[in-house]
Each structure stands twice: as C-alpha cells, then as structure tokens.
Amino acid sequence: MSAAPTVARAVPGWARLLPGGSYAGRSRVLLERSALVSRRGWLVFVSGFFEPVFYLLAMGQGLGSLVGALPGPDGAPISYAAFIAPGLLAASAMNGAVFDSTYNVFFKLKYAKLYDAMLATPLGVVDVALGEIGWALVRGGLYALGFLTVMFGFGLLTSPWALLALPAALLVAFAFAAVGMAATSFMRGWQDFDLVTLAVLPMFLFSTTFYPLSVYPPVLQTLVQCLPLYHAVELMRGLTTGAVHVGMLGNLGYFVVMTVVGVAVASRRLNALLLR
C-alpha cells in the first residue's frame, strides 16, 4: 500500500518571523556571524556603553547639585539624576541600535559586498534584514542592560516596574534598528551619514532627556512629542519611577508601528539593491 500523500500547508508570512519560523531560523546565522566578528573588536563594541554613564556622572551628579529636584512623571519631586537617567537609558538603546544598523550595514552593503555572497546561499533578503536588525537589537539591548545596572548601583531604580524597562528598551532598539537599516539603504556615500548625526543629536538633546516638556512653548511641545526618542524617554521614565499609566500604551504602539514600517522598507530596499 502506498502512503497517503502529505499535504503541505502554507505558512503565513507573519508566522515566519516568529521563533522557529523560516525567517527567524535562517536569520540566526547572521547573529552568530556578527557575534564571532565582534569578539575581535570587543572594546569598540562596548565603548558605546560608557557615553551615557559619563553623562550621568557629569550632569546628574555635577549639574544636579545645582539644579535640585524636578517634578517626575506623576508630579512628585525626584532628583535631577533620577530625572535624566531614564532619558539616558533610552538614548543608550537608540545609539547602540542606530549606529550598528547604519555604519556597519553600509560597509557590508557597499564595500564588503557581504550580502551579495549571502544571497548565493539559501538566505533571502528578509533573512538578511532581520539578521542585521537583530544584531543591532542585541547591541542596543546590551547597552541598555549595562546602563540599567549602573542605575541600580546609584539607587535610581525606585519601582518594581523597572523590571519592564529592559523589554521596553529592546523594543526601542528594535524599532530604531529597523528604521536605521531602512535609511541606510538610501545612503549614497559616507557623507550622507552626516544626516544620521543631524537626526540623532537633536533628538538626544531635545526629547526631554535633560529637562521637562513644559519648558517649551506649545508649538515646540507638539513637535517634540512627534520624535521617537521622546516616546522612549516617556516609557523609561514612567517605568523606572513607577509612574505607570494607560497612556504609555500609545508610546509602545508608536514603536510597534515604527518597527513594522522599518522592516518592510528595509526588506524592499535590499531586494531592489541586491536582486536587480
């Protein structure tokens, strides 16, 4: 007797992004490769962790002694160090993800031609995009974990809700990595990376990292509230101080949309650049 024929079931595209799905499974190869390469340049890899720590020491401890207490998310006064630390945590996740998904990806795409070689294997364009975005997520997540440890050492984590700050930082890093890789696909040369600095630096300075939103006039308040880092700072500040409210779901939704759009654009652009 012949065996009954096996009916292949189509797997939805979204399911392939889940752990064990085809995209998630194949993209792990790129994560392993990036981890092996980073072992040789581990000092460069971890150097980004120190920047927010220096800001916390200089601004939180130094300038904070002159500024005094500021109103927290729930209106209760908190120290200046406790106010800026969540903003620096959000910026740490952003910087680790953005710079890995821009400079490193651009070199591999334009000069090393690494992705052309990858596409000669069973890896596809979406695998490449998810693998690189995933590694940028790992880097941003490690920076965030390191800075959370510093905050704990300084006694700046005052609520059990702070345990959710790391998952929130991972979502922030994933969103910035996806958008960073999508933006990199439009870069023509190294000079274009001045635009990355032009986008990241103002967000770092003006997204309520160092002072409350109320210091701005109403028009600028609306503009600042459109910036992605502002929503990251609001998330981190609410979680680390315990001022959790339903409005933070909107902050989370912002990064979910940002992630989906970034992955979609990055995949389409890589497909156009590598398979033309």
The answer as to whether 183 is a domain residue is yes
- Helices (DSSP H) in the chain: which residue ranges? 22-38, 42-47, 50-55, 64-67, 80-99, 105-110, 114-118, 125-153, 165-184, 194-206, 218-224, 228-241, 248-274
Q: Is residue 1 part of a domain?
A: no
Q: Let me know if residue 97 belongs to a domain.
A: yes
Q: How confident is the model at residue 32 (pLDDT cuts 50, 70, 90)?
A: confident
174: nearest Cα among 94, 242, 244: 94
Residue 203 lies in a domain: yes
Full domain range(s) for residue 184: 26-274
Helix 228-241 with 194-206: angle, nearest 10 deg:
40
Q: Which residue has the higher pLDDT, 232 or 6?
A: 232
Could you tell me which residues are beta bridge partners of residue 63? none
CA gap 267, 161 in Å, rounded:
35
Residues 244-250, mean pLDDT to the nearest whole number: 91
Confidence of residue 44 (pLDDT cuts 50, 70, 90): low
Give Cα 258 to chain centroid, integer Å.
11
Counting residues of the chain whose pLDDT is more than 70, the rounded percentage is: 88
Report yes or no on 96 lying in a domain.
yes
Residues 170, 192: Cα–Cα separation, whole Å: 27
Domain count, the chain: 1
Check: CB of residue 242 under 8 Å from CB of residue 75.
no
Query: Does residue 6 lie within any of the structural domains?
Result: no
- 5 within a domain of the structure (yes/no): no
pTM, rounded to two decimals: 0.82
Give the pLDDT confidence score for residue 222 in this predicted structure.
Answer: 95
Does residue 11 fall inside a structural domain?
A: no
Q: How many angstroms separate the CA atoms of 133 and 30, rounded?
A: 10
> For the residues 157-172, what does the mean pLDDT come to?
90
